Amino acid sequence: MLLHPLFMRSILLISFFYCFQALGQDTTAVKSDSIPILNLVSVDVIMPPRLRRVLPRNSIIGKQQIDEIQANDVGEILQKVQGVNLKSYGGLGGLKTISVRSLGSQHSAISIDGFSIQNSQTGQVNLAQIQTNNLQSISIGVGEYAGYLIPVSSQIAGNNVSLQTFEMTFPNYDDTLQIRSNIRYGSFVQVSGYASAKVKIKNGFVSGFGNYRTSNGLYPFDIQNGAQNYTGVRSNNDYQDQYFGGVLGYRFGRDAMMRISYKQSSIDQGLPGAIILYNHHADERLSTNDNLLNADFRFRITEGIHARAYANGNVNSMRYLDPTYFNSAGFVDVTYDNRNANVGIVADGHMVKNGAHNYKRAMYFGVEGGVSDLSSSDSLFSSPIRKQVSAILGARLMFKWMRFRGHLSTQYVNESNRTSDDGKDVFGLNPYVSLESKEIGKKSIRHRIWYRNSLRVPSFNELYYNNIGNNELNPEKANQFGYDINLIPFQKQQHEVYVKLGTYFNRVTDKIVAIPTQNLFTWSIQNVGIVHAYGAEISVGTHVVFGKEDRWKLNGLGNYSFQRSMNMTDPNHSSYGHQIAYIPMHTGNFDLSLSYKKLGLKTTNYLVSKRYSLNENTASNEVAGFLVTDFSVFYSFERWKKQSIRFQFQVKNAFNKSYSYIRSFIMPGRNYLISIQYALN
């Protein structure tokens, strides 16, 4: 069965809280809605007054942590966060998706600079194509949304990831020129270069950016296949991408601002097959071209109420070529054009009476509409059009010892098909409620219990792909129940400890699962039906400053997640009660960094227990667990005025572990990466 390589549904999901990530950052937050917003994240957001320091509710990965990890893409960073399960199909450029708390990747909304990233053809975002050179911060919301005035589609999703880039943030008033650049060189002839410049112009700014990245992908592998050990070199695994664009931003006094941005990206890559029955002469190619246009306008409706109107559109063109496919033509050459457009408005505000803000009562609301379609050179593929509208209305109430938050969202999706039968229209009402205690005592203990109902609509591929699609599919529905505890058990001027505990239960109905077989274009689709998932998570972070003049700094983070995700569809089926494919029962992470002045050392460790490649948990389907360790050394210094340079050398998979996230898609062994960053403020 032939399916497009990006058509894959991770059955893992992202449940994570990264409380330590906020350490070392300015956690001054906005009390506008009791949802903390770091100044770094919301530097360009119009925010109400009254700042205060609070324990972050969402996971926030700051610029310093992003630099230290030196990941090739966002997927590699997110796997370091508590509860995140990553599915990766190889090294640089290989398909990567995440899942949270056993919800599929399509339940997680991805937004960049307040604009949703969407692909209605596959229904998911390939995180391997989102690079980290320009990232300022990453915020992750489980239950609650992460961000301020983000799109309605992100607010109502089961989980959400919000990325903030350098190019789209307004500069500080005294920064007339800002420059960021990065050069990397690594194993497998990996070379990348990034540059961006931002110029302040009166009340606005103009920025331009560009990036180029390439690798031959020829990494050796060693894999045990039964009693036989097989070694070789990954072939047809080359990768090349580039992007460029520009941003225009302008402020209208203190109460309004606008931004317009354009980005064009292109990718050309080989598609290696699975190691089993490995084809050394694989020659399939995938070429992708994407054009993205964004615009938004933020303003104050009235005293205490701020709003954001936004619009974005993108055209994604993809070509799949297999020059030696065994059919009557002797090859496969198919192109797909997926167009998406969205427009919406969101607002958030507090009551104001007699000139005074009332933070005990607040509300938020929004509405969003969108249209998308898909066309293909494949005469057997349908030509679908999707129109959708979503809305949200919510309130926050503060009592003496408790905060209440709740909203009701609605989605309507109209499916039409120009060449065959239509898919089902979708209408859903999805509630969310949360009860949270205020910080208690010196340890700032905070409890939260919450419930969220959400759904995700089937992708065009799932509905219409040739003989594989099923236009009778219902949307996946998820009911999430969670209980979290946040606390700071120890806090002094030079030593802090953060702890996050969480338990949850999720019930997913009408779950759709896609599992690859021979390569990234060949899939087996299974409809699991009903999934029950429960688990527990713990995350502990610490920050210590010591030595003469506080020159030494020690940062540590450890987390562990237990996740039981079971197929509960048919009691008479052999897989009833078994763990869902590719969801590990145990995952863990431990990071430790030590720095002296501008010199630092860091080790990161990621643990994944065994999984199963199919829903039948048999020995033949078992995928071995692994522990991967990275080491890095970095040095940064300032030169001249407002200029800084940072060097970093990193050894990834230092102990040359042979491992894979997906069966037979072996990951690179020991490899190296050198990076040089330059910044002018």
What pLDDT is recorded for position 47? Answer: 31
Tell me the domains of the chain and their CATH numbers.
19-680 (2.40.170.20)
What pLDDT is recorded for position 199? Answer: 95
Residue 638 has pLDDT above 70, yes or no: yes
Give the C-alpha separation, 625 to 315, whole Å: 39
What pLDDT is recorded for position 408? Answer: 95
Give the C-alpha separation, 260 to 281, whole Å: 45
Q: Is 73:127 a contact under the CB 8 Å cutoff?
A: yes
Give the C-alpha separation, 629 to 607, whole Å: 9
What pLDDT is recorded for position 106? Answer: 87
Give the C-alpha separation, 487 to 19, whole Å: 10
Secondary structure class of 128 (helix, strand, coil): helix
Q: What does the pLDDT average to over 252-272?
A: 93
Amino acid of residue 33: D
Q: How confident is the model at residue 529 (pLDDT cuts 50, 70, 90)?
A: confident
Whose structure tokens read 């994407």? 290
What pLDDT is recorded for position 353? Answer: 63
Q: Is 471:423 a contact under the CB 8 Å cutoff?
A: yes
What pLDDT is recorded for position 524? Answer: 55
Residue 238 has pLDDT above 70, yes or no: yes
Mean pLDDT check: name the lowest of 195-209, 321-335, 361-375, 647-661: 321-335
Whose structure tokens read 């975002």? 125
Q: What does the pLDDT average to over 579-604?
A: 92
Mean pLDDT check: name the lowest of 40-44, 538-542, 606-610, 650-654: 40-44
Residue 111 has pLDDT above 80, yes or no: yes
Positive or negative: CA dihedral 91, 94, 100, 102: negative
Q: How confident is the model at residue 472 (pLDDT cuts 50, 70, 90)?
A: confident
What pLDDT is recorded for position 276? Answer: 67
Positive or negative: CA dihedral 335, 664, 625, 601: negative
CA distances from 208 to 257, 264, 265, 293 (A): 19, 12, 14, 14
Q: What does the pLDDT average to over 436-463?
A: 87
CA distances from 514 to 1, 204, 523, 664 (A): 12, 46, 6, 16
Residue 224 has pLDDT above 90, yes or no: no
Closest CA to 150 of 90, 103, 91, 109: 109
| Token pair in block for residue 238 | 């080359």
Mean pLDDT check: name the lowest of 21-30, 374-383, 409-418, 492-501: 21-30
Q: Is 63:138 a contact under the CB 8 Å cutoff?
A: no
pLDDT digits (tens, 9 = 90+) for 125-174: 888 889 899 999 998 888 777 778 899 999 999 888 999 999 999 988 78
What pLDDT is recorded for position 514? Answer: 62
Secondary structure class of 69 (helix, strand, coil): helix
Secondary structure class of 462 (helix, strand, coil): helix
DSSP state of 65: H
Mean pLDDT check: name the lowest of 15-24, 320-329, 449-458, 461-470: 15-24
CA distances from 668 to 91, 218, 578 (A): 6, 9, 30
What pTM did the predictor assign? 0.85
pLDDT digits (tens, 9 = 90+) for 47-62: 333 323 345 567 788 8
What pLDDT is recorded for position 525? Answer: 63
Q: What does the pLDDT average to over 487-506?
A: 87
Closest CA to 180 of 138, 205, 210: 210
Give the C-alpha separation, 439 to 663, whole Å: 45
Mean pLDDT check: name the lowest of 467-471, 626-630, 632-636: 467-471
Residue 370 has pLDDT above 90, yes or no: yes
Residue 635 has pLDDT above 90, yes or no: yes
Q: What does the pLDDT average to over 535-556?
A: 90
pLDDT digits (tens, 9 = 90+) for 548-560: 878 899 999 999 9
252 Cβ contact list (under 8 Å, min separation 6): 203, 258, 299
Residue 433 has pLDDT above 60, yes or no: yes
DSSP 256-301: EEEEEEEEEEEEEEE----STT--TT---EEEEEEEEEEEEEEEEE
CA distances from 288 to 129, 241, 336, 352 (A): 11, 9, 9, 50
Looking at per-residue pLDDT, the higher value among 477 and 496 belongs to 477
| Token pair in block for residue 191 | 């070379």
Give the C-alpha separation, 592 to 597, whole Å: 16
What pLDDT is recorded for position 195? Answer: 97
Q: Which long-range contacts (CB under 8 A, 24 or more apart) does 435-439 make?
A: 435/402, 435/403, 435/404, 436/402, 436/403, 436/404, 436/405, 437/401, 437/402, 437/403, 438/401, 438/402, 438/403, 439/54, 439/55
Q: How confident is the model at residue 420 (pLDDT cuts 50, 70, 90)?
A: confident
Residue 679 has pLDDT above 50, yes or no: yes
Rounded to the nearest 10°, the torsion over CA 434, 437, 442, 444 is 0
What pLDDT is recorded for position 61? Answer: 86
Give the C-alpha separation, 680 to 642, whole Å: 6
For all residues of the chain together, what is the average pLDDT? 84
Residue 4 has pLDDT above 90, yes or no: no
Closest CA to 448 of 140, 57, 141: 57
Amino acid of residue 220: P
Mean pLDDT check: name the lowest of 26-40, 245-259, 312-326, 620-634: 26-40
Mean pLDDT check: name the lowest of 382-386, 521-525, 656-660: 521-525
What pLDDT is recorded for position 3? Answer: 37
Looking at per-residue pLDDT, the higher value among 435 and 517 belongs to 435
Q: How confident is the model at residue 482 (pLDDT cuts 50, 70, 90)?
A: very high
Secondary structure class of 326 (helix, strand, coil): coil
Secondary structure class of 235 (helix, strand, coil): coil
The three-point CA angle 390-144-359 to 5° equals 100
Give the C-alpha separation, 68 to 343, whole Å: 36
In sequence order, the β-bridge partners of residue 9 are 514
Residue 14 has pLDDT above 60, yes or no: no
Amino acid of residue 369: G
